Amino acid sequence: MAEEIERKFLVNGNAWRELASGILFSQGYLSTDKHRTVRVRIQHDQATLTIKGLTEGISRSEFEYPIPLADAEMMLEKLAEQPIIKKYRYRIPVDDVVWEIDEFLGANQGLIMAEVELLSPDQVLHLPAWIGKEVSHDPRYYNNNLVKRPFSTW
């Protein structure tokens, strides 16, 4: 079983923009049940199906599989809950971790969030100057919840 250990933060300012180029992601949810989410994601010409378990603290089980692009496009169009999440993702290495900054579009425009995957829940983490408030334990910021209640409605 794979395990994801992740912390989430809001992002301050624009200094991070000079550190990476963004890649457009489109993702939708086939299930947003809190005990198991099922996500379809497209980036460039690659598609994945991801199943995630219940979040406990900052950890949860995660399984990810490549799927055919045409299947992913059909799932996003016909099966996924709406709205589809669209965002640019920027990957910025700092020390021994890679920060993933998501700049959301559409109904979630204006939200910029950084995520970092850790090796253990107690891993010491250096926070770059552009990292703001931690939102790891605020379910409003989970991508699957941004489908149900987009940032623009807060």
Catalytic: which of 29, 90, 141, 142? Answer: 29
- Cβ burial, residue 94 (10 Å; 0-12/13-18/19+): middle
Sorted by sequence, the CB contacts under 8 Å of residue 92 that are 6+ apart come out as 16, 19, 20, 98, 99, 100, 101, 128
- 29 is a catalytic site residue: yes
Is the distance from CB of 48 to CB of 41 less than 8 angstroms? yes
Pairing of strands 36-43, 46-53: antiparallel
Active site residues: 29
